[in-house]
C-alpha cells in the first residue's frame, strides 16, 4: 500500500470506511489512518464521522464502520477571480 494507491482508490470510489480500506489494503487501522492523514493535510480527503447509533439505538457499531473518508474534488470551493 502506498499513498498513490490510496489516492487512486479514493478518487475512484469517492467515499470509503476505514474498515473497507483496511480490508482492501490488508493493513491495520492505525497504518491506514496515518496514510490518510497525508491526503487530509493536503485537502484532498476529509474525514466524516457517522453517529455511533447509525439510525438505531444499539450503539454497537465499531469505529471502523463509523469512520468514513471522502475524496474532495480540487475544484470545489474555489472562487473565480
Give residue limits of the domains in the chain.
3-71
pLDDT at 2: 93
Q: Is 27 helix (H, G, I), strand (E, B) or coil?
A: coil
Q: Is 11 helix (H, G, I), strand (E, B) or coil?
A: helix
Q: Is-contact 44 7, C-beta < 8 A?
A: yes
pLDDT at 80: 39
pLDDT tens digits, one per residue of 3-54: 999 999 999 999 999 999 999 999 999 999 999 999 999 999 999 866 555 5
pLDDT at 62: 60
| Rounded distance between C-alpha atoms, residue 24 and residue 60, angstroms | 23
**Of the candidates 58, 2, 11, the residue with the CA atom closest to the CA atom of residue 34:** 2
In the numeric block, the cell 499513498 is attached to 3
Domain 3-71: assigned CATH number: 1.10.10
Q: Is 17 helix (H, G, I), strand (E, B) or coil?
A: strand
pLDDT tens digits, one per residue of 49-77: 665 555 566 666 665 567 899 999 765 44
pLDDT at 33: 95
Amino acid at each position: 500500500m502506498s499513498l498513490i494507491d490510496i489516492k487512486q482508490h479514493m478518487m475512484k470510489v469517492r467515499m470509503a470506511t476505514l474498515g473497507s480500506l483496511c480490508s482492501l489494503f490488508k493493513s491495520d487501522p492505525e497504518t491506514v489512518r496515518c496514510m490518510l492523514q497525508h491526503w487530509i493535510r493536503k485537502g484532498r480527503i476529509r474525514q466524516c464521522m457517522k453517529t455511533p447509533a447509525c439510525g438505531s439505538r444499539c450503539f454497537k457499531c465499531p469505529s471502523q464502520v463509523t469512520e468514513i473518508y471522502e475524496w474532495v474534488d480540487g475544484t470545489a470551493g474555489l472562487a473565480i477571480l
